[in-house]
Amino acid sequence: MLLKHALLPSWRPLAHQHLRTYSASAVYRRLKLAYDLHEPPKDAGPKNAPIVFIHGLFGSKKNNRSMTHLDIQDLRNHGDSPHDPRHDYTVLAEDVEGFIDEHKLENSTLIGHSMGAKTAMVVALRQRKPIANLISVDNAPIDAALKSDFAKYARGMRAIEDANVTKQSDADAILQSYEPTLATRQFLLTNLICASDGTRKFRIPIKYIANALDDMADFPFRDPDEVRFEKPTLFVRGTKSPYIADETLPIIGRFFPRFELADVDSGHWVISEKPAEFKRAVVEFLQDKQ
Q: Distance between CA atoms of 269 and 275, rounded to whole angstroms?
A: 10
Q: State residue 287's pLDDT score.
A: 86
Q: Mark whether 185 and 162 lie in a shared domain.
A: yes
Among the options 78, 87, 113, 268, which is catalytic? 268
φ/ψ (deg, to 5) at 255: -75, -35
Give ∠ CA 215-189-186 in degrees, rounded to 5.
105
Among the options 60, 81, 108, 114, which is catalytic? 114
Q: Mark whether 157 and 282 lie in a shared domain.
A: no
Q: State residue 39's pLDDT score.
A: 60
Q: Mark whether 194 and 264 lie in a shared domain.
A: no
- Judge whether 125 and 195 are in contact, CB under 8 Å: no
Q: What is the CATH number of the domain that holds 228?
A: 3.40.50.1820
Q: Mark whether 72 and 89 lie in a shared domain.
A: yes
What is the three-state SS of 157-212?
HHHHHHHCCCCHHHHHHHHCCCCCCHHHHHHHHCCEEECCCCCEEECCCHHHHHHC
Q: How many CA atoms lie within 13 A of 18 on its CB side?
A: 3
Q: Mark whether 262 and 129 lie in a shared domain.
A: yes
Q: Mark whether 176 and 241 lie in a shared domain.
A: no
Last residue of a domain, one of 175, 192, 211: 211
148 is catalytic: no
Q: Mark whether 67 and 128 lie in a shared domain.
A: yes
Instruction: Give the model confidence (pLDDT) of 72-116 as tens digits.
Output: 668 888 877 888 899 999 999 999 999 898 888 888 899 999 999
Q: Mark whether 60 and 189 lie in a shared domain.
A: no
Q: Mark whether 140 and 153 lie in a shared domain.
A: no
- Judge whether 231 and 258 are in contact, CB under 8 Å: yes
Q: Mark whether 181 and 263 lie in a shared domain.
A: no
Q: State residue 263's pLDDT score.
A: 98
Q: What is the CATH number of the domain that holds 180?
A: 1.10.10
For 139, the domain range is 2-144+219-287
What is the three-state SS of 117-138?
HHHHHHHHHHCCCCEEEEEEEC
Q: Mark whether 126 and 243 lie in a shared domain.
A: yes
Q: State residue 107's pLDDT score.
A: 87
Last residue of a domain, one of 158, 193, 211: 211
Q: Largest Cα–Cα distance of the chain, in whole Å?
A: 55
18 is catalytic: no
Q: Mark whether 20 and 113 lie in a shared domain.
A: yes
Q: How far is CA 245 from CA 26, 56, 205, 214, 251, in A?
A: 34, 19, 31, 20, 11
- Judge whether 102 and 32 are in contact, CB under 8 Å: yes
Domain total for the chain?
2
Q: State residue 44's pLDDT score.
A: 44
Q: State residue 80's pLDDT score.
A: 78
Last residue of a domain, one of 192, 211, 230: 211
Residue ranges of the chain whose pLDDT lies below 70 = 1-48, 60-73, 288-290
